[in-house]
């Protein structure tokens, strides 16, 4: 299933399509943003234990080039935070439920 949205980042606006995929090593949900048929951003992160999550949940990458994306998707009703953040060793990432 796919969803379309507009993302604002670093002073620019992008029209992207969100696509649900799965990580090959554990089947965990992988959330991708695609622009004009090309990969734009990987919005999920594959942490240990991700494969045991319910099929509509993933850890959301909120750092680096993805700053602000979670808030944008929340505003548009596409995801919601459902649990505490989890440490990756460098940053904390939230658990989200994908609503599309």
Q: Can you give the length of the chain in residues?
A: 100
Could you report how far apart the first and last alpha carbons of the chain are, in Å? 7
How does pLDDT run across 36-56, given as a tens digit for each residue?
Answer: 999 999 999 999 999 999 999
Nearest Cα residue to 53 out of 73, 74, 33, 83: 83
Can you give the pLDDT at residue 4? 85
Tens-place pLDDT, residues 57-80: 999 999 998 988 999 899 999 999
């Amino acid at each position: 299933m796919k969803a379309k949205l507009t993302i604002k980042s670093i002073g620019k606006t992008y029209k992207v399509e969100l696509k649900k995929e799965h990580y090959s090593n554990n089947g965990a949900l992988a959330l991708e943003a695609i622009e004009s048929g090309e990969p734009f951003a990987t919005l999920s992160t594959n942490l240990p234990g991700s494969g045991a999550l319910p099929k509509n949940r993933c850890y959301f990458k909120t750092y680096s080039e993805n700053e602000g994306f979670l808030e944008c998707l929340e505003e548009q009703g596409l995801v919601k935070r459902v649990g505490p953040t989890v440490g990756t060793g460098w940053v904390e990432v939230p658990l989200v439920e994908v609503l599309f």
